[in-house]
Structure 1
Amino acid sequence: MADRRQVLRMGALAAGAAIAAPVIASEVAFAAPGKPSNRPLVIGHRGASGYRPEHTLASYELAARLGADFVEPDLVSTKDGVLVARHENEISGTTDIASRAEFAGRKATKVIDGVTVTGWFTEDLTLAELKTLRAVERLPAVRQRNTIYNGLFEVPTFQEILDLQDRLCKELRREIGVYPETKHPSYFRSIGLALEAPLAEALRHNNLNKPTAPVFVQSFEANNLRDLHDVHKVRARLVFLASAAGGPFGDPRPYASYLSADGLKELSRFVSGIGPDKSLVIPRRADGTLGTPTSLVADAHAAGMVVHPYTFRAENQFLPVDYRTGTDPNAYGRAIDEQVAFHRAGVDGLFTDMADIGVLARDFAGR
């Protein structure tokens, strides 16, 4: 039954039908309005970035309408200190700025967290200037359908996202949370545009600075999260992100140290959860197939923290070898089955580019 429904659903997705179609009510069991739910969370990664250019209001709204519990904006700063949503502060791949003659002189080369980057940067534009730009699809070769929306949507501010959240909660009559990530906080602090203070102020202004608010604030830098908690008194839940290798910028400790039993205990003093690369929850074998779950979920739960791994996508190239269908790297594979495997490993939610797939996977995993 599940296999047949998956084939039908994935066929609809491939045809683009699910982009406009509502989620089937029988497939989803939302908590009643105002009631908490203990189900694993579906987190709309950059909104519904599988169907719309990422980090646009259209992408966030679609994710919510497809069933996401939270939407995730990555936050960077403009020249005049306004928080806006972009995957990176370098925006040549996510906006049309490279084709805009009036900004040709703003092209620059900078070192961001130890990496030399050439392009156009949000911190060199005022909000008014940034608002003249339009978003484009970041992965046009992978998601060619998304390119039909190029040029339609603005770069949103964090406040505009919070306003959208408020409107959709009322319209859909259910709680929809926000899951902002601070991008390159050390870098922005070094140029006098620290992200912490405006983020904390936005949470307070919108009555979201409390542990019960539908908010998680995430960062790859433990020191950033500690600063948000200790100095800026952010009481919304904090989540430490971890890559499969390396460590936080400017921090001598590797991610592996933070994810050890002692490291998790230390983190639990100021964060509520971890957001690991999904390979840290279920690694892949040498042949690229999905392996056996590690102890990370159990270890984090023992430390009192939730686990929200990233990032789940439907295209073959992002899936384990044994979950791929056919040879086209951009065709959809067994994305539902992959997410079901992670739910059965005990995760408390996951980041997905396609919220409707996340909803179905959670539904199937619970049966």
Structure 2
Amino acid sequence: MRRNKQLPHIKIISHRGASGHRPEHTLSSYTLGARYGGDFIEVDLVSTKDGHLIARHEPEIGHTTDVASRPEFADRRGTRTIDGVEVTGFFAEDFTLEEIRTLRAVERLPSVRPDNAAHDGDYPVPTLVEIIELAKALTRELGRPIGVYPETKHPAHHASAGLGLEPPLIRTLREHGLAGPEPEVPVFLQSFEPESLKKLGELRLPRVLLIGAEERWAPFTTREGLAGVAAFADAIGPDKSLVVAVTEDGELGEPTSLVADAHDAGLLVHPYTFRSENHFLPESLRSGGGPTAYGAFAAEYEAFFAAGVDGVFTDHSRHAFLAREIFLDEG
């Protein structure tokens, strides 16, 4: 049976925007992600010193902004222990929003994405409010829903610093019409921490437990564990190796039972993260170019679509969109 191509059930989640084409977590990246076919703007949220939610990959912002080159902030460099890992650098929680607004985004992976690095300094750091406004504007412009998919990033760390992420997130979504069963634009809420998702339950929005590939996550991937997840979440966001693993020969293996088991528990499955460069692809899908060249990315998407996933986190929304079109046409 042909699926409805107007609203395909396989969702394209623009991971930090079109982060394969512009520095991640910038309004330009988010805009491209939507215009390239993405259904959701994926956002990592961290807090400023004065409690504003901004979009950065981690609380440490030295690798994603130009802060390290700004002499006026040299004394902000420090060391934090975040979820048991000691990190040295510059932290959003030591800056007010006014100070953050003076910074500019830089490419986090310049050796793999030199074209992105050419845009270093072009874009400011966006706030959650600005991202919501952008999603609404893109929904009007494109004539289809462009949702937001916020992640509470290291919520326990933020809470220990007196900057809990959940209260301002709840408040902001309510103030902008993104709470309840019929939000103005679609919303998924995501976190690696179950307790954070539970705190967000009052919003009555779909919640996604992110699941890493490390052994500590294994209990969540059993049938019993998935049933437990379904008590506080509506979907899982697993590392893609948990859905289709890569063999020792660098080939894509057979799908695991995770998708079927999750569906049996009533959970959607949105694996992460799909990237088109050779650097990130299984060896068998790499092209003859260097690490920055694109490989046979469509074959990877096809394997996961065939495995029954309900969405994909991708740095290259256009590639995911085209692969989905081919898959739906052939289905």
TM norm. shorter chain > 0.5: yes
Q: Partners of 1:38 and 1:203 in 2: how far apart?
A: 25
Secondary structure of the residue that 1:283 maps to in structure 2? Answer: strand
| Counterpart in the other structure of 2:188 | 216
| Counterpart in the other structure of 2:269 | 307
Question: TM-score of the superposition, structure 2-length normalised?
Answer: 0.96
| Counterpart in the other structure of 1:243 | 212
Assess if the C-alpha contact under 8 Å between 2:275 and 2:314 holds in 1: yes
| Counterpart in the other structure of 1:107 | 77
Secondary structure of the residue that 2:245 maps to in structure 1? Answer: coil
Q: Partners of 1:103 and 1:132 in 2: how far apart?
A: 11
Report the Cα offset of residue 312 of structure 1: 0.3
Choose which of 198, 203, 215 in structure 2 pairs with 1:234: 203
1:162 aligns with 2:124: no
Choose which of 216, 238, 244 in structure 2 pairs with 1:282: 244
Report the Cα offset of residue 164 of structure 1: 0.5
Assess if the C-alpha contact under 8 Å between 1:259 and 1:296 holds in 2: yes
| Counterpart in the other structure of 2:54 | 84
Q: Partners of 1:38 and 1:304 in 2: how far apart?
A: 19
Assess if the C-alpha contact under 8 Å between 2:112 and 2:279 holds in 1: no
Structure 1, residues 256-277: CA drift from partner, whole Å, max 9, x if none? 1112111111111221100000
Secondary structure of the residue that 1:332 maps to in structure 2? Answer: coil
Question: Amino acid of the residue matched to residue 219 of structure 1?
Answer: S
Assess if the C-alpha contact under 8 Å between 1:324 and 1:332 holds in 2: yes
Q: Partners of 1:199 and 1:258 in 2: how far apart?
A: 25
Q: Partners of 2:5 and 2:96 in 1: how far apart?
A: 40
| Counterpart in the other structure of 2:169 | 199
| Counterpart in the other structure of 1:34 | none
| Counterpart in the other structure of 1:336 | 298
| Counterpart in the other structure of 2:325 | 363
Report the Cα offset of residue 211 of structure 1: 3.5
| Counterpart in the other structure of 2:227 | 265
Question: TM-score of the superposition, structure 1-length normalised?
Answer: 0.87
Choose which of 145, 165, 170 in structure 1 pairs with 2:115: 145
Report the Cα offset of residue 212 of structure 1: 3.9
Structure 1, residues 153-204: CA drift from partner, whole Å, max 9, x if none? 0000000000001111111111000001110000000010000101111111
Q: Partners of 1:145 and 1:77 in 2: how far apart?
A: 29
Question: Amino acid of the residue matched to residue 199 of structure 2?
Answer: D
Assess if the C-alpha contact under 8 Å between 2:13 and 2:38 holds in 1: yes
Secondary structure of the residue that 2:181 maps to in structure 1? Answer: coil
Secondary structure of the residue that 2:237 maps to in structure 1? Answer: strand
Instruction: Output the aligned Cα RMSD.
Output: 1.3
Secondary structure of the residue that 2:25 maps to in structure 1? Answer: coil
Secondary structure of the residue that 2:266 maps to in structure 1? Answer: coil
Question: Amino acid of the residue matched to residue 346 of structure 1?
Answer: G
Assess if the C-alpha contact under 8 Å between 1:68 and 1:355 holds in 2: yes
Q: Partners of 1:238 and 1:351 in 2: how far apart?
A: 15
Unaligned 5+ segments in structure 1 are: 1-28, 32-36, 247-253
Question: Amino acid of the residue matched to residue 18 of structure 2?
Answer: A
| Counterpart in the other structure of 1:9 | none
| Counterpart in the other structure of 1:178 | 148
1:49 aligns with 2:11: no
Assess if the C-alpha contact under 8 Å between 1:77 and 1:195 holds in 2: yes
Unaligned 5+ segments in structure 2 are: none
Report the Cα offset of residue 287 of structure 1: 2.2
Report the Cα offset of residue 38 of structure 1: 4.4
Assess if the C-alpha contact under 8 Å between 1:290 and 1:321 holds in 2: no
Q: Partners of 2:257 and 2:24 in 1: how far apart?
A: 32
Report the Cα offset of residue 327 of structure 1: 5.3
Assess if the C-alpha contact under 8 Å between 1:96 and 1:136 holds in 2: yes
How many residues were matched structurally? 325
Spell out the pairing of 1:310-321 with structure 2 (5 A cutoff): 310-321=272-283
Question: Amino acid of the residue matched to residue 234 of structure 1?
Answer: L
Percent of aligned pairs with the same residue? Answer: 55
Runs of 4+ in 1 over 6 A off after TM superposition: none
Q: Partners of 1:30 and 1:192 in 2: how far apart?
A: 45
Report the Cα offset of residue 30 of structure 1: 5.4
Q: Partners of 2:53 and 2:72 in 1: how far apart?
A: 23
